[in-house]
Structure 1
Amino acid sequence: MTDLFKPMASVFTNHQIAGHYRAIDRAQKCIVPFHFEIQGVEYPKPVPEKNWLRRLSGTRSEKYAMVELTPTKVVLWSPEQRNLGEMALADVKLIQVGAIRWHVTQGLDPRHAFRATIFVVTEKGNYYFANSDMEVLPAIFKFAHAHEIPVEDPLRLLPLLKLGWKVAAVTLHETYAQLAEHTGYPNSKV
């Protein structure tokens, strides 16, 4: 398994002016929540716009940062849809998928207690992303497999997710401490 907690120089070409929330630098030092768009599908799915004027104009009230995976590159978008930076897909050497406890699960539906983690490993740096939709993990695996990018799954989540997230969440909640024990993933919430 790859040691993923060593920030290095960025391979993203920065297209944004100074003061762009330093999303790329932050993603090299800590796990940063981002939505993902993989071949036109968003994770998590966008919430339908309730404001009728925004629906007509095609804009959204809810804004969020996005990682877009295309057949040739990885692009980071700001909540305002500004290009924060991009790198060639060929620069990605490995993707590690996992999960972290996001909330204390006592009394909560276990599906809401975890966040998917996506660690992108390159020669020049590692990038750490979190996503609230665990269904992003099988989509990333499928995308990476299609583009011949190795995927590590130290928590063995991909077979578990084949059962559906509702069943997988209960199993993950019950076995997370044992799964995370030798992986470097924190057992407590982050």
Structure 2
Amino acid sequence: MFKPMTSVFANHQIAGHYRAIDRAQKCIVPFHFEIQGQEYPKPEPERNWLRRLSGTRSEKYAIVELTPRQVVLWSPEGRNLGEMPLSAVQRIQIGAIRWHVSQGLDPRHAFRATIFVLTDTGNYYFANSDMEVLPAIFKFAHEHGIPVEDPLRLIPLLKLGWKVAALTLHETYSQLVAHTGYPDDKV
């Protein structure tokens, strides 16, 4: 497991925002991802007609935004929690963990994407409910010269589509995580 260290995010000392970044250094925290304008998972259509007209959302999420120059963390209220230059990212590790679900559910809902961002001064652990974020992160990192580790070999599996990949991952997860340090049981 990666050892949490000092944060490289700027602006994180403002009014308690340090706790969100500090938490991401100690445990896996659910965040939505926005990669060059595309949000993962895609937001549900707003059902409230007044909010639809005004362009606001009922449900708000914390977001990790990846841009060609920097990584920015946003609070659900849209406040900047912190940012760091993209050049501070040494590598990214992508993976999957089993989530709190019962056996009878669709296997696509049994896993969460994990994204570990490793820097010189700290490591950050994120989870996302949309496994399609992994190929997007892989492509983004490749375009910007950031090494990506894929110890579970998910990228080739996800090329088959998430339905097929979920069934395969569900059946072979124990063998895939055997020597990786990922937990075999549900988180």
Same fold by TM-score greater than 0.5: yes
1:60-115, CA deviations, whole angstroms, 9 ceiling, x for partnerless residues? Answer: 00011000000000000000000000000000000000000012351010000000
User: Quick one: which amino acid aligns to residue 101 of structure 2?
Assistant: V
1:22 positional shift: 1.4
Check the 8 A contact 1:103/1:112 in 2, yes or no: no
CA–CA distance in structure 2, aligned partners of residues 156 and 96 of structure 1: 11
Aligned-pair distance for 1:15? 5.1
Match in the other structure for 1:123: 120
The percent identity for this pair of structures is 84
User: Which residue does 1:22 correspond to in 2?
Assistant: 19
Q: What's the Cα RMSD here?
A: 1.1
The answer for the alignment partner of 2:85 in structure 1 is 88
Count of aligned residue pairs for this structure pair: 187
- TM (normalized to structure 1)? 0.96
Q: Is the 8 A contact 1:16 1:82 kept in 2?
A: no
2:125 and 2:64 mapped to 1: Cα distance? 11
Per the alignment, in what secondary structure is the counterpart of residue 97 of structure 2? strand
Q: 1:16 touches 1:83 (CA, 8 Å); kept in 2?
A: no
- Unpaired segments of 5 or more residues in structure 1? none
Distance 1:151 1:17 in 2: 31
Partner of 1:170: 167
Of 179, 183, 187, the residue aligned with 1:186 is 183
Q: Which residue, out of 38, 51, 55, partners 1:54?
A: 51
Deviating 4+ runs (over 4 angstroms):
none
In the alignment, the residues of structure 2 paired with residue 7 and residue 90 of structure 1 have an alpha-carbon distance, to the nearest angstrom, of: 19
- CA shift for structure 1 position 16: 6.1
- TM-score relative to the length of structure 2: 0.97
- Any idea what SS the aligned residue of 2:65 has? strand
Separation in structure 1 between the aligned mates of residue 52 and residue 12 of structure 2, nearest angstrom: 29
